[in-house]
Chains A and B, each alone.
Chain A
Amino acid sequence: MRRPRIALAVGATLVGAALLSALVGPLLAPHSIGAVVDLDVFSPSSAAFPLGTDYLGRDVLSRVLTATRYTVFISFVATMIAASVGIFFGLAAASGSWLDMVLSRLFDIVIAIPSLMFGLVVITSLGASIPVLIGTLAVVYTPGAFRTARALALNVAALDFITVARSRGEGLSYIVLREILPNLIGPLAADFGLRFVFVALLLSGLSFLGLGVQPPYADLGALVRENIAGLGFGAPAVLFPALALASLTVGLNLTIDTLTGGRKATR
């Protein structure tokens, strides 16, 4: 019984730290993001530069704090769009037969395109701006959200209380919004968190390939990429961005697991 609580505490701390640095990180940063402040490159941690410096001699701490904002912000907006669109169409599909057919096949087509490939094609043709990034990530992850919402809604729609509402003559919007949706909040929240992690990882992947956030700004994936040469020296410049990304995803997963697990147990 103690394990979930510890997991929750650890997860919540990690997520909280990520959110905090996304919100106020740039204000806390000791140096400006583009400023070259050290004559040496890939220098180890010191009192002046707690996380060392990067391949140009910039302060890694400042860069990680700023990059987290980009990763969290872009991922959050993209996930939000993917989840809202997915849930909307998922619920619509769960309530009508031909609509279900059309929507399901449509999203199947999107899902059939490898996500990284899709990202590469779109971004190379439209250019790597932040709106394009958000749009691409949202498109890639909408079908998953659609499928989850549809499957969950279909399960609930088969229950007797929906039949009672139907036999009373309730309209579709009442049934979907008032009877079905409240029962999906828990699982959909879990799905949202999970999808956020996927989006953050894909974003980092794109950035690592040079297609993500463009210099002088950077997200966590871009930081890893630009400092990859420091891997040979064991420079903190490459380790800490990677660590930040890992702690964000692990923290979020721990939180989701305990929250949804707890919900199940109390039922």
Chain B
Amino acid sequence: MTALVRLSGLQIAACKDGGVTSIVRDIDLCVEAGEVLALIGESGSGKTTIALALLGYARPGCRITGGEIEVAGHRIDRMDEAALRTLRGRVVAYVAQSAAAAFNPMLTIMRQVIEPALVHGLMDRAAAETKARGLFRALALPDPDTVGDRYPHQVSGGQLQRLMAAMALITDPALVIFDEPTTALDVTTQIEVLKAFKTVVRDLGTTAVYVSHDLAVVAQIADRICVLRGGTVQEQGKADQILHAPAHAYSRALVGAAAPRVPAEPIAMPPPAPGEAPLLELRDIVAGYGGLDANGRPKACILDKVSLTIRRGRTLGVIGESGSGKSTLARVVAGLHSAAQGYVNLNGVPLASRIADRSREDLRRVQLVFQNADTALNPAMRVGQTVGRPLTFFHGLRGRTRAAEVARLFDLVRLPAAIADRLPGELSGGQKQRVNLARALAARPDLLLCDEVTSALDPVVAEAVLDLLVDLRRELGVAYMFITHDIERVRAIADDVMVLYGGCQMELADARALGSGPHHPYSRLLMASVPHLKAGWLETTMDPFAPVPGQAGATADGCRFFSRCALAMPGTCDLVRPASLVADDRLIACHRELAEL
């Protein structure tokens, strides 16, 4: 076998503030024809930088300073811009993370998909369109013959991602670079896209470099894996070997972080005193945007009759994909969004729907922690100040007592106290998220609303933050509403789990009951969609779309999940809102019998 792609001694440097820092050092890689090599690592590991170097491209401010890059006999490092232009899209093609940003919304999909073939003069328009339709079919796109006539906003995100792969493959390139192509997608969509990619890559014998931070995804598609960290190769080898017998310590840490989390020990809580009101209780919350109609429902309804309770010191996991209304739920509880109907009780007392009407004591009890610590911390404020403010605001602490309390909080979230004088820009992602937590804890809340707090973090760091959350709960007895799209994560740290879809509650269950007994079809789909750290899992998992003919959409009153449900009963499910089936440890909103689920 000959190597199709060869990198040797690759060096890439970034120029910053007059100095030159090396960001990628001494990379030696080979990819043989027909092979898929995965580059895996955290953010900042240089994985994307290396992949882009295969296109002869360095990001602004960066420069390829040494080494050889050879793709299909072309010496990329020796080419000038003009020569590279004839190569890109023809010999090496690129599939980016965000297809939505890669497509021009003003042109039809077909025009854009066949453009590389026309630009390089490889075939005429008719031939290219035929070929594109073939690729659409191979990528399992619905309506392969007509999807090309649509505009990018008329197809879903997962479909667009596959269409971008079609655009890359239309020229039969020697090498395709997939740069985190499924990272921005929901889990159920990710499976669908991954399956399509895998089929095409196998059927066309494509050589590919697959860049990802997610080991479980990579396990499904890669033949070989290269583990990167800080711009150097830590380990490379066959996928099986890296997954099952990683030699390098860092690879072991990555594999460890990707393995399913062991559920935390259930924390013994004193049983609630009889008659004690739950900490938080939501009843039939309806919320959305736009004016209210005659029935008092908002025009765009984001949450539809959602009810839940959280007892003191317990954790409720709220799971849903983008658009499920899970973030709006947190905003309603925090008073940032007024519900149109329903009520929120805190300790049995109704909570005003707007912040301005809430007492300071109520505000203190509920604190928000946001997903993205980059925007959740004021970049112009020292972090000690950020954490200290709630202390002054809620508890009137000042001066030395406040500084001591800030130091104690930093200690609580396992940060050195010296960090207080830094600005957020000088901290790492994990540190920022800890500061974010410390600020919320400074109020001494009873309930933390955690909105996707770990999803912007690298896996190893995310694990550490989760451990911290579990510890804090044990030490402080705070309750969490833990909002996430990741059912595995929630299962490990929550006591109860609520599954939202399209703003409706699909299932409310004990976290330990997940995976056994009857479940809502959507919960099942979610659980089946989380990639396992095992090659060949993709083939065995259930198909996220078992399309039922003629099952278009439900009426506004029907089950929200109707159009994607494999068990749907047309005539009932699409017309009538399902009632909740009650089992001892779960509530399922479905028309089917418990025994059928």
Contacts and interface: CB of A to CB of B under 8 A. Distances in A.
A166 B337 CA distance: 12
Interface in B8-22: 15-18
Interface centre among A2, A5, A179 (most CB of B within 10 A): A179
B18 A179 contact: no
A267 B360 contact: no
Given A160-B370, A164-B370, A182 B378 contact: yes
Nearest to A5: B18
Nearest to B376: A160
A267 B370 contact: no
B244 interface: no
A232 interface: no
A108 interface: no
Chain A interface mostly = helix
Interface in A56-91: none
Given A169-B355, A267-B425, A163 B368 contact: yes
Interface in B324-380: 334-336, 355, 358, 360, 363, 367-368, 370, 372, 375-380
B137 to A, nearest CB: 43
Contacts of A178: 381
Chain B interface mostly = mixed
B363 A167 contact: yes
B334 A167 contact: yes
Contacts of A266: 17
A182 B385 CA distance: 13
Interface range on chain B: under 10, 10 to 19, 20 to 34, or 35 or more? 20 to 34
A230 to B, nearest CB: 46
B358 A168 contact: no
B390 interface: yes
Contact of A168 (B370, B377, B381, B390): B390
Interface centre among A163, A166, A169, A182 (most CB of B within 10 A): A169
Interface in A169-222: 169-170, 178-179, 182-183, 185
A117 interface: no
Contacts of A169: 355, 358, 360, 363, 393
Contacts of B381: 178-179, 182
A118 interface: no
A159 interface: yes
A112 interface: no
A167 to B, nearest CB: 5
A45 B334 CA distance: 74
B368 A167 contact: yes
A1 interface: yes
B336 A170 contact: no
Contact of A185 (B16, B335, B376, B380): B380
A265 B378 contact: no
Interface in A140-163: 159-161, 163
Contact of B363 (A5, A163, A168): A168
A168 B443 contact: yes
Contact of B378 (A2, A161, A167, A185): A161
B355 A161 contact: no
Interface string B390-401: 100110000000
Contacts of B355: 166-167, 169
Given A163-B368, A267-B425, A168 B380 contact: no
Contacts of A1: 15, 17-18
A167 B425 CA distance: 23
B143 to A, nearest CB: 38
Contacts of A5: 18
The 9 A-B pairs at the shortest CB distance, nearest first, are namely A182-B380, A160-B376, A169-B363, A160-B375, A160-B370, A159-B375, A161-B378, A167-B334, A183-B380
Given A159-B375, A267-B425, 11 more contacts: A2-B18, A163-B370, A164-B370, A167-B336, A169-B355, A169-B358, A179-B378, A182-B381, A183-B378, A265-B17, A266-B17
Interface of B: 15-18, 334-336, 355, 358, 360, 363, 367-368, 370, 372, 375-381, 386, 390, 393-394, 425, 439, 443
13 contacts: A5-B18, A160-B370, A160-B375, A161-B378, A167-B334, A167-B336, A168-B363, A168-B390, A168-B394, A169-B355, A169-B358, A169-B360, A179-B381
